[in-house]
Amino acid sequence: MSDLLERLRARGWRMTSQRRVVAQVLDGDHTHLTADEVHARSARLLPEISRATVYNTLGELVSLGEVIEVSTDGRAKRYDPNAHHPHQHLVCASCGMIRDVHPTGDPLADLPAQERFGFTVSEAEVTYRGLCPACA
């Protein structure tokens, strides 16, 4: 993530102050922010940045594979810059806190051929739910 701007430039991206700021916000330890949270933090650095631009930029980062879209709660999607390290998520059912987790084994291997119904299965997304220490 640290040289995201370099990679984007190499891909022929036009570098604007808005895109720089969004990348900078995601680059903190602020993983799993909603689009509106990204917008709020970006607006502290660049007050006029618009919601549409944040949505556009996030969408583009997702299609480039630089950011992962996570929707654990049926509410706002969250944007995860930790895209180059495969992982799953552990969510507190009470306060919504999210942690990255690394289960052993490959979830895809647990889906036998006769349970694939002819699909070309490419991805398995696991969400663990429970109560965090503070909420338990």
Nearer to DNA, 14 or 102 (CB): 14
User: Residue 65: left (phi > 0), alpha (psi -120 to 50), or beta?
Assistant: left
> What number of residues does the chain have?
136
Please choose, out of 2-10, 33-41, 75-83, 102-110, the segment that lies near Mn ion by the rule CB under 5 A. 75-83
Binding pattern to Mn ion, positions 96-135, x when CB under 5 A?
----x-----------------------------------
> What is the number of other CB atoms lying within 10 angstroms of the CB of residue 68?
19
Q: Is there a binding annotation on residue 68? A: no
Q: Contact with Zn ion (CB under 5 A): which of 43, 45, 64, 92?
A: 92
Q: Is there a binding annotation on residue 57? A: no
The yes or no reply on residue 128 touching its own copies (CB under 8 A) is yes
Nearer to Mn ion, 41 or 89 (CB): 89
Q: Is there a binding annotation on residue 40? A: no
DSSP 18-52: HHHHHHHHHTSS--SEEHHHHHHHHHHHSTT--HH
Nearest C-alpha neighbor of 32 from the set 96, 125, 104, 106: 96
Binding pattern to its own copies, positions 7-46, x when CB under 8 A?
----------------------------------------
d(CA 91, CA 128): 6
Nearer to Zn ion, 124 or 135 (CB): 135
58 exposed, middle or buried (CB, 10 Å; 0-12, 13-18, 19+)?
A: buried
Which stretches of the chain bind DNA, using CB under 7 A?
9, 13-19, 34-36, 46, 48-53, 55-57, 59, 71, 74-77
